[in-house]
A and B are shown apart, each in its own frame.
Chain A
Amino acid sequence: MARISAGIATSHVPAIGAAFDLGKTKDPYWAPVFEGYEFVKEWIKDNTPDVVILVYNDHASSLMMDIVPTFAMGFADEFQSADEGWGRRPVPVVKNHIELAAHIAEQLVIDEFDITLINEMDVDHGCTVPLSLVFGDVEEWPCKVIPFVVNVSQFPTPSGERCWKIGEAIRNAVKTFPEDLDVQVWGTGGMSHQLHGTRAGLINEEFDRRFIDLLAHEPEELKYITRLEYLRETGTEGIELIMWLIMRAALGYGVEEKKRFYRVPASNTAVGHVVYEAKS
């Protein structure tokens, strides 16, 4: 049977991707950010999964314009990196695990999550920056990736509680897939940031650190942070943290925290990153 063995959370700041692609990872501005990922780059060598379910939000690259699904799953065989206005990131194509994706879709609908399937889309920095941070500069991603896309940009977005429940449903779906697969769930985005107006540049380190403090072993109260509270406390884009809750819920009750990292700034954003191994 398939099992969820571990989870990773990380910010997915586009400027991190640009720094990576332009070879600036040792620059004084960027080195302290990339150093935070040295652990996971080593850890993943011994813990490369068969499939990553990569939870991210599309940044007006393939979605948000004509169709705004609350929860969607990439259902193409493969996905190219999107041209977000400066050319496509030179990263490997993302290859899907269609059988597992189809199984998850079936199970989610049984669990009353009416998931949208997307037969054609490009994946933007929300998906490719986490892959680069964890796997580094590679010819091919070493595993299959199911892009799992959440609307966190256009209100109404889903609540944190709803995200938690879909994370639990993903867990139950994976556990009933008959093939023996090692699956990881990654939650991406955050931490605090706001990208417009006189509150642009907002960082709430106290909120962010408390979020990381509670996520591993006491995530209960994080489920009930309202969307309004995310906006007020962490900025309009800080609400991306609800995608970390999907990852955490998918791991089940017990986790072992292998790594935590927090750093301000990367561009406009507070960078957060954790690695959890599932214990149950």
Chain B
Amino acid sequence: MPRTRLYPLADLEDIPGTKVFTALRSREAYYLHKFCMSLMKAENREEFKADEPAYLDKFKMTAEQKQAVLDRDLTKLIELGGNMYFLVKLASTDGLSALKAVSTTSGMGVEEYTQMMLEGGRSPEGIRSIRDKN
């Protein structure tokens, strides 16, 4: 007997403001992520910082992904398949903390975001489901 799914897979797309990192998104961002992981070596970080476009051309990323890297637009990079665990290597190369990197995708300024965290974080009330508005 096939097992019954506990929820429809489409429900993974039913969370407000959230891109669940699926195998398909991983595939879409494979070369972007190759670039991110290359930044785990100091010499590569130096080479990237010396000439960013030239360094990016070594990877088979889409033009849109390359531009979003140059713009440090993490929100765009996530739309293009990116996952924060890879993208944080780019932020670290820039000397940004994970808190600052994450805050740039939140639609809030870093100070406002930091203050929200100090006050206990963002409540899940009303942002569990797009469909159920809860």
Contact = CB atoms under 8 A, between A and B. Distances in A.
State whether these chains interact.
yes
Interface of A: 14-15, 18, 59-61, 64-65, 68, 82-87, 153-156, 192, 194-205, 207, 226, 228, 231-234, 236, 264-265, 267-268, 270
Interface residues of B, number: 58
Interface in B41-86: 41-42, 45, 74-75, 78, 83-86
Contacts of B6: 226, 228
Given A68-B26, A204-B124, A265-B118, A231 B20 contact: yes
A17 to B, nearest CB: 11
A82 B18 contact: no
B97 A15 contact: yes
A200 B33 contact: no
Contacts of B93: 85
Contact of A196 (B74, B116, B117): B74
24 contacts: A59-B85, A64-B33, A64-B85, A65-B37, A65-B86, A68-B26, A85-B89, A154-B26, A155-B23, A195-B98, A196-B75, A197-B17, A197-B105, A198-B127, A200-B113, A201-B102, A202-B121, A203-B120, A231-B20, A232-B128, A233-B124, A233-B128, A267-B97, A268-B99
B20 to A, nearest CB: 6
A197 B88 CA distance: 14
Contacts of B15: 199, 231-232
Interface string B108-122: 000001001110111
Interface of B: 6-7, 11-12, 15-23, 26, 30, 33-34, 36-37, 39-42, 45, 74-75, 78, 83-86, 88-93, 95, 97-99, 102-103, 105-107, 113, 116-118, 120-124, 127-129
A199 B23 contact: no
Contacts of B107: 198
Given A153-B21, A196-B78, A267 B99 contact: yes
B36 A84 contact: no
B105 A155 contact: no
B88 A85 contact: yes
A68 B84 CA distance: 16
A11 B47 CA distance: 34
Contact of A236 (B21, B88, B106, B113): B21
